Copies of this chain bind each other. A is one copy, B any other.
């Protein structure tokens, strides 16, 4: 591995971290390297710096492309492929969340929908179905929220995140301003915390 120490530390860390997510060490390292690099890199550059085989880099880049996490570009008079990550880190976050949703939440949601259609054949199955319905509703709430937030432009998103705990204050204010005085507080269908 042929990298400035500071870069190497980060690249190694991301390699290890990769295993905690579904990606392998090499993919994590390639991504980290591209993320830190000022200039786009070609496959051979990556081979030299990370020190893995050319074919491994090829597969890693393919996977990163499948995740939409790298951008492919060309330099004039050079027919090699050059790769880079978006300059805007928020774009990276958006892509990451979107792709993870696509791979993890969406398939689970369709499985849940499917299973919830079936007729339970026993008390045990009925309870299991109830549990699955809770999960389904939770995911629906989260993905609905996500879809909305995803649409916000970055400036507003940052504003929202910075707001942090003050959100509660704003909700309270909203309640005071808009809720009909004397109306009940909870909604009937999710008042089931044990």
Q: Give A contacts to B, CB under 8 Å.
A: 4, 6-7, 9-10, 13, 17, 19-22, 35-38, 86-90, 93, 103-104, 107-108, 111, 115, 118, 120-122, 124-125, 127-129, 131-132, 134-135, 138, 141-142, 144-145, 147-149, 151-152, 154-156, 158-165, 167-168, 170-171, 174, 185-186, 190, 192-194
Contacts of A138 in B (CB 8 A): 89-90, 93
Contacts of A132 in B (CB 8 A): 10, 36
C-alpha gap A169/B181 in the complex (Å): 22
Report yes or no: B165 in contact with A9, Cβ–Cβ below 8 A: no
Minimum distance in angstroms from A36 CB to a CB of chain B: 4
Q: A21-B104, A35-B131, A88-B192 are in contact. List 15 more A-B contacts (CB 8 A).
A: A6-B125, A6-B128, A10-B115, A13-B111, A21-B21, A21-B22, A86-B194, A87-B193, A93-B138, A141-B162, A142-B161, A144-B161, A147-B164, A152-B167, A154-B193
